[in-house]
A and B are shown apart, each in its own frame.
Chain A
Amino acid sequence: MTAPFLHIRALRKDYGVVTAVRDVNLTVERGEFMTFLGPSGSGKSTTLYILAGFENPTAGDILLNGQSLIATPSHKRNIGMVFQRYTLFPHLSVGENIAFPLKVRRLPRAEVDAKVAKMLKLVRLEGFEDRKPAQMSGGQQQRVALARALAYDPPVLLMDEPLSALDKKLREEIQHEIRRIHQETEVTILYVTHDQEEALRLSDRIAVFSKGVIDQIGTGPELYANPATRFVAEFIGDSDFVTCRVLSAGSGRADLAVGTGMTISGVPMHGIGAAGSNAALMLRPERLSLKRGAIGGNSLSATVTDITFLGSNIHVAAKVPSGEALSVRLPFGHEATSGLARGDTVSLAFDPASAHVFCA
């Protein structure tokens, strides 16, 4: 078996009594776009900084093509990085910034010039080489930073929330650029973000970080359809949780009692739930169907608390008798929404296979 391209093994980082990264294990294929997604303090940035060589891990190893990187100082790792803040060298022009990594490698002048021109073309900033960074917009500066980080053909490009300082429209534009550049250069990218939409839009695979470990690694659809933990379910897509009771469990599925009258069987189960114990049933707003009135049968009875019109969607907030809130997303013009008002009683039904139950 050949060694994986990039292998992070049992990585741990302690700062005094605080553990930033507990136990991170990950393999990345060559050319893959891997995103570290998680809230601040989940260890995603620390992992990236260890990869860059700015932090030393307390334990664990990082292997690139089977070779450990830990003992190599940052400037010999040959890794590219785009930072959250603008890090262009303010006293150098755009062209000189891109040439910097090539000049410190003492490449011949002609080669440097050719590469700078090629990089400017890649990020679509031809003609800007004599500008100073201060004369460029934030989005342009990050594109130059990208060109500088790719100029020396690094095997791995690290990106630490590079778009967080930009406004939404510009962000989407540059996400598009990053995707194109990833496809053109086939560089392996490790991208850190706390924005699930950005992660879903860009990545081949996403590693969801929580409290210093990776909760789950998978493609966007995998994480959405089959979240391994309650945290992943909350972080990818919208979700609501209703308390339920496990009636019986086996082979990854559970039969549940919800509220007073509803029983459902065959719900995918995560964690270990003994019969009779309480668990959290996850429901996605777009997977619920809504009918007017109390129908009984295999559905949840709920009271409408709010109705919000969101263009193509109508968002109905409802409360089940236990007091837990659920939201339902329906397409505009859906028959059940006409004349629907606050305080109305509705019945919510769903396909058991689309729900998930998380046991403590």
Chain B
Amino acid sequence: MALLTEQDNITAVGKIRTVRSRNFALTVPALLLLVVFFILPVVALLLRSVMEPELGLDNYRALLGSTTYLKIFLNTFSVSALVTVVTLAIGFPVAWALAIMPSRWASIVFAILLLSMWTNLLTRTYAWMVLLQRTGVINKTLMGLGLISEPLPLVNNLVGVTIGMTYIMLPFIILPLYGVIRKIDPAILQAAALCGATRWQALTRILIPLATPGMVSGALMVFVMSLGYFVTPALLGGTANMMLAELIAQFVQSLVNWGMGGAAALVLLVVTLTLYAVQLRLFGTARMEGR
């Protein structure tokens, strides 16, 4: 068999390059769309944050120097973290159950999950308002059963935001987790059981470590999405726990202060990108340590 000559190698590399550039051409329409309707407006907004009312970092100084705004940042992070933890705690058992239940049952549960995802966001949020309000179904039922005498404050506060957002975020954690758990051979858990591991030990020492890549990616997705969420916190939350997206909306809509709005948006974007980088990093190593 003849050895590859240098010339052959060069032509081979050249061919790969042509194929690559042809493939790149396929992405141009989508990239153009992104540039015109997403990147340019964002850049414009960010420029306004350093140019209005006058050139400089005054907007950022005002934003990061004020306790009111810092409280909103802190609140945004803690609500997002809380929603992420609750979603993970509820989503993991669901994903596990989906992975091991007979496929006919699983497809019913999937249908329910997707149906809720496809229903209009506002509709779902208003539905939660109806359910959670003082005279709502939940409070009325609890009072009817005699479990409580006063209606519980379930809406216009942290509880309401957490419930509403957890509900919306659940599919985003269940679907990636399901994919990861599905790939774990059930025989591995049987082996763990015969090795003497209780269900709890099998869960904490085998299943959770193996599902970690899915949990990390799902949790980061939920956290990042929660950071920028607007509708649900605006409708189900109270004024005491305003979130960043609401603040941006207020700057732009009510105060017509594009400079401050742009600054807040940039802070959010930087945080999001940082977390995305962390996710890539963690997910990358997690995959290498896997099978």
Contact (Cβ within 8 A) A105 B191: no
Mark contacts of A79-90 with chain B using CB atoms, 8 A cut-off: 1 yes-contact digit, 0 otherwise.
111011101011
Inter-chain CA distance A204–B197, complex, in Å, is 32
Chain B residue contacts of A85, Cβ below 8 A? 185, 187
Chain A window 29-56, contacts with chain B (Cβ cutoff 8 Å), 1 for yes, 0 for no: 0000000000000000000000011100
A77 to B193 CA separation, bound complex (whole angstroms): 9
Bound form: Cα–Cα A100–B210 in Å = 15
Q: Does A229 lie at the interface of the complex (its beta carbon under 8 Å from any beta carbon of B)?
A: no
CB-based nearest B residue for A77: B194
Within 8 A of B (CB), among A55-98: 73-81, 83-85, 87, 89-91
A129, chain B: closest CB distance, angstroms: 17
Residue of A81, A91, A132 touching B191 (CB-CB under 8 A):
A81
Q: Are A80 and B194 in contact (CB under 8 A)?
A: yes
**Are B197 and A87 touching (Cβ within 8 A)?**
no
Which residue from B197, B210, B291 sits with its C-beta under 8 Å from A104?
B197
Q: Evaluate contact between A91 and B194: CB separation under 8 angstroms.
A: no
Interface hits, B188-229 → A, CB 8 Å: 188, 190-199, 201-202, 205-206, 209-210
Q: Whole-angstrom distance from the CB of B202 to the nearest CB of chain A?
A: 8
CB of A303 to closest CB in B, whole Å: 50
Tell me if B290 is interfacial: C-beta within 8 Å of chain A. yes
Q: For A81, list chain B residues within 8 Å (CB).
A: 190-191, 194
Q: In the assembly, what is the distance between CA of A73 and CA of B202, in Å?
A: 14
Bound together, the chains give a CA A53 to CA B192 distance in angstroms of: 13
Contact A90 B210 (CB under 8 A): yes
How many residues on chain B are close to A (CB under 8 Å)? Answer: 22
Bound-state Cα–Cα, A100 to B206, Å: 10
Chain A residues, CB < 8 A from B196: 75-76, 78, 101, 104-105, 152
B206 to chain A, nearest CB (A): 6
Closest 10 CB pairs of A and B: A101-B195, A87-B191, A90-B291, A74-B193, A104-B197, A75-B193, A81-B194, A87-B187, A91-B209, A104-B196
What residues make up the interface of A, taking CB atoms closer than 8 Å to B? Answer: 52-54, 73-81, 83-85, 87, 89-91, 100-101, 104-105, 132-134, 145, 148-149, 152
Known: A81-B194, A101-B195, A104-B196; 19 extra A-B contacts, CB below 8 A, are A53-B193, A53-B194, A54-B190, A74-B193, A74-B194, A75-B193, A75-B202, A79-B194, A81-B191, A83-B190, A89-B192, A89-B206, A90-B290, A91-B210, A100-B192, A101-B196, A133-B291, A149-B195, A152-B195
